[in-house]
Chains A and B, each alone.
Chain A
């Protein structure tokens, strides 16, 4: 269980997170949504220990995050940041193998793990390419393979967690779906808890076990996408007029469709002046 309680973060007189209390279980796919600047990345950076909150607690398996030995923590929790810059010409395979640094499983096993992780992220053909020569989307997939390699293993009693900040931002549509399927599988077959920020709400609706909606640092809603994604909540939080229909293939999946602008409401429409 990864828990935050009464978490508040301030920076430069601005409240980034205000009194958030949340719990994440292993085997659960949780997606954090909210408009730009809502505090999604700040929340993730508190969960990964990068940011020390002004108030509140972050706990993993009942132990405060800062009391965890780093290496032990790195074996049960991996983090994919929004963007990583690696300018040195490591091969793709070497980048993925860096995910094995916290483990001591030996070269042969690490190598087998890297191969599988690369395959799962559709990077098998890139192995010997120099990382800086890849496209943005390819780099993002390689980094995902790296954190997969880091999470590889028999599992642990504390539960393993994978934190991803905008992992689909540079991916094309088919790779977005492939990634979300992969994350879903990780939660189901490996009992890994996945916490992920995402902007595409229809992807969230289709894949997330739970959607956490935050706006201006405040928790607005937390629950199954079906319950959380209402026309009212989305309209309020994102300032966007949407229609929500049941997905034609599965009525439990809400489908969000932004409404077309109605001429009589459009500001500056002909005749208004």
Chain B
């Protein structure tokens, strides 16, 4: 089914890809060492080589910019890409699943549930078992964050979808409740946390794209990139689901199965992202909304377009977070909340006034 011509689809995705490339290039060339874009481009082969062969045999003094790019800017950029794309596509998925444009991993408590899972591991892991030293907990984090996110989305979905219909008030209130519970639990854990742990707790509540460990990033890439590539397959099911759950069934779609799979995928993507970058709110709300206003609600275009735009937006926000008060950094979660909070209010006002969902 399509009334968007293939040409329009190509044009939209092409434009958004170009936007992402421009923002990514700008991100790579901005930082503590001011860099010319062409210098960056010229060093990309060397950066790639240094990543593939971490300890080059006698190459003399390594280029400082190559080091900066390979160790700091590149991993940060990649995390920004998968976090922005992942959060935006998860927002679009949840909105389709809940048949409601106010759904968002942050608002509905999936992110804070994941953060609680991660914080529990950090604070209680070492107390529970001496063998759970910090290196080991780093590998446990994505797993427990996934668990926390899964429990949250399951609770909110169970409460707010009754008889195939989503009650918007119940959904948002359930999200508030889950956020409050997770927030309180994290707060409680902060009393028994030591100094190092406390620092990572703050990190989780505000979000940051700072990452220097390529191995952690690799785990995220291995899980999230395939998820991003597979998710557009659910576009038809989500479109049909907007007609109604039973209508989707009559169109040959097993919505129960689709729902189960999507809930797990959303929890997985959000869980892994939270374990790496903390809670970054509102991306999943704002991005699919803007895309829907531009190109309509068809998930076949909405999902890939949201992923591209989400990546571009988050990298843009990261550039602001790094450069606005350099050399200090504003946590990126603060920037996305500053953008997304007023946007959310605007949506509520408009929803109240027109009862139209868009």
Contact = CB atoms under 8 A, between A and B. Distances in A.
The size bracket of the interface on B is 20 to 34
B242 A88 contact: yes
Contact of A84 (B243, B254, B296): B243
Contacts of B253: 70, 101
A181 to B, nearest CB: 24
Contacts of A128: 3
B355 to A, nearest CB: 8
Contacts of A101: 1, 236, 239-240, 251-253
Contacts of B358: 88-89
A26 B1 CA distance: 27
A70 B246 CA distance: 12
Nearest to B254: A70
B294 to A, nearest CB: 12
Contacts of B64: none
Contact of B1 (A50, A81, A94, A132): A94
B344 to A, nearest CB: 18
Interface in A69-116: 70-75, 77-79, 81, 84-91, 93-95, 97-102, 107, 110-111, 114
Contacts of A100: 1
Contacts of B101: 88
A200 to B, nearest CB: 25
Given A88-B357, A90-B298, A98 B250 contact: no
Interface residues of A, number: 38
Given A97-B1, A98-B1, A98-B239, A90 B250 contact: no
Contacts of B240: 98, 101
Contacts, number: 94
A88 B297 contact: yes
A111 B5 CA distance: 11
A127 B153 CA distance: 37
B91 to A, nearest CB: 15
B249 interface: yes
A75 B252 CA distance: 8
B244 A84 contact: yes
A53 B296 CA distance: 40
Interface string B260-299: 0000000000000000000000000000000010001110
B176 to A, nearest CB: 23
A50 B249 contact: yes
B356 A99 contact: no
A150 interface: yes
A48 interface: yes
A74 B251 contact: yes
A76 B111 CA distance: 43
Contacts of A150: 251
Interface in B292-348: 292, 296-298
Contacts of B244: 81, 84-86
A18 to B, nearest CB: 24
B252 A74 contact: yes
B242 A50 contact: no
Contact of B356 (A50, A98, A132): A132
A91 B301 CA distance: 14
A85 B245 CA distance: 11
A86 B243 contact: yes
Contacts of A86: 242-244
Given A86-B242, A87-B356, A90-B296, A102 B251 contact: yes
B249 A91 contact: no
A87 B357 CA distance: 6
30 contacts: A48-B250, A49-B249, A50-B249, A73-B252, A75-B252, A78-B250, A79-B247, A84-B247, A87-B99, A87-B242, A88-B357, A88-B358, A89-B292, A89-B296, A89-B356, A93-B3, A94-B296, A94-B298, A97-B2, A98-B239, A98-B240, A98-B243, A99-B1, A101-B240, A101-B252, A111-B2, A111-B3, A114-B1, A132-B356, A150-B251
Nearest first, the 4 A-B pairs at minimum CB distance are A97-B1, A74-B252, A71-B252, A102-B252
Given A94-B1, A98-B239, A102-B251, 12 more contacts: A70-B253, A74-B251, A78-B250, A81-B246, A88-B101, A94-B3, A98-B251, A101-B236, A107-B1, A110-B2, A114-B1, A132-B356
